[in-house]
Amino acid sequence: MNLFQPESQEIVLRPYQSAAIDALRDKIREGKRRVILCGATAFGKTVCASKLLKEADNKGSYSAFIVDRITLVNQTSDVFDRYGIGHGIVQGINDRWSPFENIQVCSAQTLARRMLPRPPKLIVVDEAHAQHKSTLKFMEENPDAVCVGLTATPFSAGMADHWDGIVDTVTARQLINEGYLIEPKVFVAKSPEDSEYGRNSFGEFSDESAASAGIRIVGDVVKEWISKTHEFFGGPAKTIVFSPTVEHGRELCAAFAAAGYNFQQISYMDRSDDERAAKIGEFRRPDSIIHGLVSCGVLTKGFDVADCRIGISCKPYRKSLSSHMQEVGRLMRTHPDKDLALWICHSGNFERFALDLYDVWENGVGELSKAEKHDKKPRERSEQTREKVVCPECSGALRGLVCTCCGWEKPARSGIHAVDGELYEFNAQALAMEARPGLRAACLKDPKAVYNAALCYAIEHCRDGDCEKSRKQAYAIWKGIFPTEKPPFGWFDMKATLPDAGAYSLAEREVKRFRKNSRRAA
């Protein structure tokens, strides 16, 4: 051991981290060899992995920890050093190349070109949703190894084909409420219209069109940042900007420099890894001379600077909830000197993804196959979506009926309103739910009653008495009636009560329609 190296820390797990490791072991005992450990930013996934790797090392087992970014190699190595975990590094020409150490921190790109001296018994894949072909191949070549995938966003298509199960033990909302995460104040600022963006072959907004449209509002980005930093922090605060292209990033850096602030760009086009590492190293310093880093495809995942207080979104996404959540997550880590974080959205992403983001924060990601669907559906901005998620007073984020920034509440309404001489209970949830075009049943005014009726129908027609199967069928029936909506938390597990006759008939018709369409398709 290096005599000048600080004494290593003991790995002390929080209760939810211990529960996650126990759940992982339960999955492995069930015969599942490839399991995803899902946890929000600052869950401590790397700490959990460190615990598993240290125990494997104590048994003499050979293990590999695979990362998909060079910036994460040193970050992970620093964590292992902190806990006294001996390891080698498999990444380019690295001074810590030591392949016979029991634990290897591997760059996915280098691992594809380099052999290890023996097969690992434990493989940990960081940012598992990235799904690098070389990593998946490495897993296939080591079928006897236990594989643990770490991610906050297991939404990538095909993950259920490569992983046997998922452990998702605690939600982001719980971590926020318990003080392990900071929920940033979100402000929706000026951004280009969606019509200004072109599409790439994957149906996403193209980076070139986003850069072209975004350059026109660079001045607004700088102006908004200066205003918010002085309002909330009394001056500049550490900032990360997510930019669509290198050209756009250069324009941003120049605009900030003209205003007297030091912003540095890092991207996949950096001249050397050392140059990028030097900028990141300076940015990590508590008294850094760099006010902000402008990232083009580099800092989206896993990057950890806990005292970073501001994030600026300039790269729009049409489908990728995972990318949006990963970017927001860069601000959510706690720090002794940090009690506030700001997210300034110049991309329109918050308007597109807020409802999905809050749903995942509140309820978790669900089963792996269901989680994959989050990144498939294009999200569109409209006046209706804006009314649901943007405060009209301060342009802050609405969560439910309350602004998370200024505390503004949507105007209270009477609990009862009259329609054609009849009285109906006012249902705030119903206001935000639109039924499938062509449906006109009166019961659609009460989506919860429709859900209850669907559950009653499913239970009544379930042949094997499987309660879980009935709940899944009820969910499917309701989604057929309200295809663009999501049932609020708690509906899936609601207790069935005597259904409304009209709602029950609607559920029955919906099942017949589905079966008829299925036969026609067949």
Q: Give 192-258 as a 3 state SS string.
A: CCHHHCCECCCCCECHHHHHHHHHCCHHHHHHHHHHHHHHHHCCCCCEEEECCCHHHHHHHHHHHHH
Nearest to 386 by CA among 521, 202, 193: 193
- Name the phi and psi angles at 417, rounded to 5: -135, 155
Distance CA 362, CA 33 (A): 29
Whether residue 286 is found in the same domain as residue 137: no
Nearest to 68 by CA among 123, 107, 94: 107
Render each residue's pLDDT in the chain as its tens digit; 522 residues. 444 455 788 999 999 999 999 999 999 999 999 999 999 888 889 999 999 999 999 999 999 999 987 778 888 999 999 999 999 999 988 889 999 999 999 999 999 899 999 999 999 999 998 888 999 999 999 999 999 999 988 988 889 899 999 998 889 999 999 999 999 999 999 999 999 999 998 889 999 999 999 999 999 999 999 999 999 999 999 999 999 999 999 999 999 999 999 999 988 777 677 788 889 889 999 999 999 999 987 766 556 788 999 999 999 999 999 899 999 998 999 999 999 999 999 999 999 999 999 989 988 888 887 777 777 788 888 888 888 899 998 999 998 888 999 988 877 544 433 344 343 333 434 445 788 888 888 888 889 889 999 998 998 888 776 678 888 999 999 999 999 888 887 788 888 888 888 888 899 988 988 887 766 555
Tell me if 485 is assigned to some domain.
yes
Reduced to 3 states (helix: H, G, I; strand: E, B; else coil), residue 409 is strand
Whether residue 198 is found in the same domain as residue 286: yes
- Which of 151, 168, 185 lies at the terminal end of a domain, its last residue? 168
Whether residue 389 is found in the same domain as residue 255: yes
Tell me if 421 is assigned to some domain.
no
CB 193 within 8 A of CB 404: no
- Which of 134, 168, 202 lies at the terminal end of a domain, its last residue? 168
Whether residue 182 is found in the same domain as residue 123: no
Q: CATH code at 317?
A: 3.40.50.300
Tell me if 9 is assigned to some domain.
no
pTM to 2 decimals?
A: 0.72
Tell me if 417 is assigned to some domain.
no
Sheet of 239-242: strands edge to edge? Answer: 185-188, 342-345, 310-313, 239-242, 292-296, 263-267
- Per the rule left: phi > 0, alpha: psi between -120 and 50, beta: everything else, 377 is beta
CB 343 within 8 A of CB 188: no
Tell me if 6 is assigned to some domain.
no
Whether residue 156 is found in the same domain as residue 212: no
DSSP 64: E
Whether residue 159 is found in the same domain as residue 219: no
Whether residue 89 is found in the same domain as residue 225: no
Largest CA distance in the chain: 85
Tell me if 39 is assigned to some domain.
yes
CB 24 within 8 A of CB 148: yes
Whether residue 293 is found in the same domain as residue 229: yes
CB 285 within 8 A of CB 203: no
Whether residue 334 is found in the same domain as residue 471: no
CA 206 from chain center: how many Å?
21
The number of beta carbons lying within 10 Å of the beta carbon of residue 496 is: 19
Whether residue 203 is found in the same domain as residue 126: no
Whether residue 82 is found in the same domain as residue 149: yes
Q: Which one-letter amino acid corresponds to residue 231?
A: E
- Consecutive H or E run containing 514: helix 501-521
Tell me if 52 is assigned to some domain.
yes
Tell me if 355 is assigned to some domain.
yes
Whether residue 308 is found in the same domain as residue 323: yes
CB 117 within 8 A of CB 5: no
Domain span including residue 64: 15-168
Q: What's the structural domain count of the chain?
A: 3
Reduced to 3 states (helix: H, G, I; strand: E, B; else coil), residue 440 is coil
- Which of 168, 187, 222 lies at the terminal end of a domain, its last residue? 168
